[in-house]
Amino acid sequence: MTQLLKQVLPEERSLKESVHPAVPQQRASINMIPIVLASVLIASAIGCGTPPIEPLTSRVVNGVNAKPHSWPWQISLQYERDGVWRHTCGGSLIAANWVMTAAHCINTKFSYRVFVGKHNLVEDEAGSKAILPEQIIVHEKWNPIFVAFGNDIALIKLSEPVTLSDQVQLACLPPAGTVLDNLSPCYITGWGRLYTGGPIADQLQQALMPVADHATCSKPDWWGIAVRTTMVCAGGDGIVAGCNGDSGGPLNCQNADGAWEVHGIASFVSGLGCNFIRKPTVFTRVSAFNDWIDQVM
């Protein structure tokens, strides 16, 4: 994302490129842009967050191609326009028929599908499947005009359950109320732009993004009052960040037992650029919404 929120509009692009759904104009003065379960018990069960194909985690700093299908809960949310399906956001498979994504990814003008088991968006891949939604539920307190109000979360009920495989697995969710320590090592994954104004990735990308705790992220020269305790920040070094097309995708953090938990849903970055120093990528903090997720599902 390279523009202010009020300028983020759908683009005419092929499936291999990422576009954002239309968003109403931003009236707040904050310079930001969206970057664009059974129950929680199921998503927290033994077996979630343990990919059969182990991801690359050897201190990867800059974004790199992920090992194919090593983040098997990652989905591509796509919308149809003029007979063409277009990637717009990421998301996380949290139950066989439920996907978690960002509220700002959803626009009622469009029809959507969820692609599971994908690594390369422009190739046919064994084990991948496109599924239409049965229902899309956006958080009732989400306000697209004021991103900093939070509640940037949505759930998508699939029209049919997926079959779990090496390519398709469930994400774990963190326990309710979990707050990550400063500098906790987490990984963002997605098909977003490789840098501000740069090309869209064909292959799923991953990057190490240490958490910036609320005390740090809310400093005046960071995000200040734009970040709430229902959010989690990661990055901020001016080098690695989420970008256009990463919206709705997961912030993956490994727990003490070795399982990966999705602690964040990519929400917004600075309007000054995706990789702006002391403006880390801001995510919806999943552990602040466990009750809401349970109620919806």
Closest to 18 measured CA to CA, from 42, 41, 2, 31 = 2
Is residue 247 annotated as a catalytic residue, yes or no?
Answer: yes
Which one of 69, 104, 214, 263 is the catalytic residue?
Answer: 104
CB neighbour list of residue 206: distance below 8 Å, 6 or more residues apart: 55, 56, 60, 63, 64, 65, 66, 71, 187, 188, 189
Catalytic residue chosen out of the listed positions 20, 44, 76, 152: 152
The single-letter code of the amino acid at 105 is C
**Using the 8-state DSSP alphabet, how is residue 288 labeled?**
G
**Other C-beta atoms lying within 10 Å of the C-beta of residue 84:** 12
Active site residue 152: yes
Neighbours of 292 (CB within 10 A): 16
Instruction: Name, in order, each residue with C-beta under 8 angstroms of 229's C-beta and a sequence gap of 6 or more.
Output: 214, 285, 288
Q: What is the C-alpha separation between 117 and 115, in angstroms, rounded?
A: 7
Q: Among the options 70, 184, 247, 287, which is catalytic?
A: 247
Given the structure tokens 């080098």, which residue do they identify? 239
69 is catalytic: no
The 3-state DSSP composition of the chain as helix, strand, coil percent (nearest 5) reads 10, 30, 60
Give the DSSP letter of residue 215: H
Could you give the CA distance from residue 182 to residue 213 in angstroms, rounded to a whole number?
5
User: Annotated active-site positions, please?
Assistant: 104, 152, 247
